[in-house]
Amino acid sequence: MRSPIALITGVMGQDGLYMTEFLLSKGYEVIGAVRDIQKARLLLPEDLQCIDLVEWNMLDQDTIDNIILNKKPDEIYNYAAYSTGLGMYDSPIDLSDVNGLGVVRILEAMRKKNSPTRFCQASSREVFGEPVESPQNEYTKVNPRSPYGAAKLYADSMIKIYRKQYGMFACSAILFNHESPRRGESFVTRKITRTVAKIKLGLAKELHLGSLDAKRDWGFAGDYIKAMWCMLQQEKGDDYVLATGEAHTVREFCQVAFARLGLDYREYVREDSFAIRPNEQVPLVGDFSKAKNELGWNPKIGFEELVGMMVDADMHCLNKSNR
C-alpha cells in the first residue's frame, strides 16, 4: 500500500511548514509548491529536505493542471496567498487574482483531472469584516471590509459551488489569528515578541504600536493545521471555523510577553496615534463548536503558553545571531 501524497502550496510559510512536519510524521509523501525551487531548498529546514519541491504559479493554469495531473496528490492544502498584516489593501488586483482566482484554478485542475483528490483552503476570519454578532461561526453573516477579505470570500463561495455542482471534496478552514515563532515579522504578535527580546538584549529601547485595546482571537498555528487535516479525513467536505473562542487585547499580549523576560511593558511600549484604527464594535472571536463536535478538535496551546513560546524563540534566535 502506497503512502498518501499531499501537495502543499505556500509550503515555506508558517502553516505550510507545520503541515509538512505533521504529514511527514503520519507517513505522507509531501510535495511542496514554491515559486523558486533553488531558493526554497536553501531555506527549508534540514529535517524537511526530504520533500519533493515543484515550481508553482497561482496565476498559471497550465502549470497547476500539469502538476496535479502528474503528481496525483490525494490531498491539497492551499496556503499560497498574499498575506494579511499590513497588506490587506495592497495590490488589490494581484491580491484578488492569487487569493481568489488562484483557488478556482486549483479547483478547475481537480475537476478536469476527475479524481478523488481532497482540497482544503486556508480561508480567514477577514470574510466576516465587521460582524454583527460575536462569537462568529459558520453561519455568521459575511461582510468583508478589505480586498483581502473579499478575495477570501470569493474563494470560499467558489468552493461551495464546486462542492455542490461537481460533488468535489473541497472545504474552507475559516482561520482566526494563528501565531507561532514562525510568524512573519510584519504581524503585530511577532513584532512584539521580537522587540521584547531586542530590548532585553539591549538592541532596542522602545516598542511602537497602534491601539493596545484592539482584541483578537489568537491561537497556535500548529494546532490549526491538525484541524485542517481532520477536515480532509471526513466522509464529505465541509467548512469549519477554527479559533480558540477567547479574545485578548494587544495590551495583554504585551504584558505577557514582557513579563516573560522580567520586564514591565508600560516602561517600553508607546502607542502611536497615527497607527490607531477604530476598535471593532463587536469582538472578533471565533466559535469552533462545529469543529469540536464533528472533528473532535480542540486547540491545545493556550494564550500565555503561545506568547511565551514566541518570546523564547526570538530570544534564542537573537542570542544565536549575536554570538
Q: Which of 123, 124, 146, 172 is catalytic?
A: 124
The greatest distance separating any two alpha carbons of the chain, rounded to the nearest whole angstrom, comes to 60
Residue 18 to residue 8: CA distance in whole angstroms: 11
Q: Which of 18, 82, 123, 126 is catalytic?
A: 126
CA proximity to 90, closest of 152, 13, 130, 148: 148
8: pLDDT confidence band, cut at 50, 70 and 90? very high
Q: Any idea what the Cα angle at residue 190 is, between residues 185 and 193, rounded to 5°? A: 130
Q: What is the pTM of this model?
A: 0.94
Cell (9 digits) for 76: 491539497
Query: What pLDDT is attached to residue 115?
Result: 79
Q: Which amino acid is at 270?
A: R
Whether 279 has a pLDDT exceeding 70, the answer reads no
Cβ of 264: how many Cβ atoms within 10 Å?
11
Query: What pLDDT is attached to residue 131?
Result: 87
Active site residue 126: yes
Query: What pLDDT is attached to residue 321?
Result: 75
180: pLDDT confidence band, cut at 50, 70 and 90? very high
- Over the stretch 215-247, which tens digit does the pLDDT of each residue have? 999 999 999 999 999 999 999 999 999 999 999
- What domains lie within the chain, and their CATH numbers? 5-178+218-242 (3.40.50.720), 184-217+246-284+301-321 (3.90.25.10)
Over residues 160-180, mean pLDDT: 98
Q: Which of 82, 148, 162, 240 is catalytic?
A: 148
Radius of gyration of the chain (CA): 20
Over residues 110-129, mean pLDDT: 94
Cell (9 digits) for 105: 484554478
Q: Which amino acid is at 95?
A: L
Query: What pLDDT is attached to residue 320?
Result: 81
Cell (9 digits) for 227: 484541524
Active site residue 252: no
CB-based contact 11:43 (threshold 8 Å): no
Active site residue 166: no
